[in-house]
Amino acid sequence: MKWNSKTKSKPTLGDKKQKVWFALFPVKVEDKWVWLEKYIVIYEYKTYYYQQDVVVSEGIFTETYYTDMVEAIGWRRIDRRLIVKVT
């Protein structure tokens, strides 16, 4: 029997989770290409950096900006695995 919990636990840095995805388009998983099949994606909750454009001034026809590195925390894909059927 299963039911939903009212309190959800917040992830901590280093937590991992797995999701099953369907390859609608060709995707490289491990050393093979998968298409129209299911595969497993592994995520890790970690700190990462990305580029963000910061606008300095705006005009009617021009815009001045610079690129800055921003720190974020979230789920990032770290691996893809094939689903192995055991018989």
Do 4 and 55 contact (CB within 8 A), yes or no? no
Residue ranges of the domains in the chain?
A: 16-82
Rounded Cα gap, residues 19 and 83, in angstroms: 11
Both ends of the chain: CA-CA distance in Å?
27
| DSSP secondary structure string for all residues of the chain | -----SSPPPP-TT-EEEEEEE-SS-EEETTEEE-SSEEEEEEEEEEEEEEEEEEEEE-SS-EEEEEEEEEEEEEEEEEEEEPPPP-
Q: pLDDT of 63-81, one tens digit each?
A: 899 999 999 999 999 999 9
Q: pLDDT of 14-56, one tens digit each?
A: 999 999 999 999 999 999 999 999 999 999 999 999 999 998 8
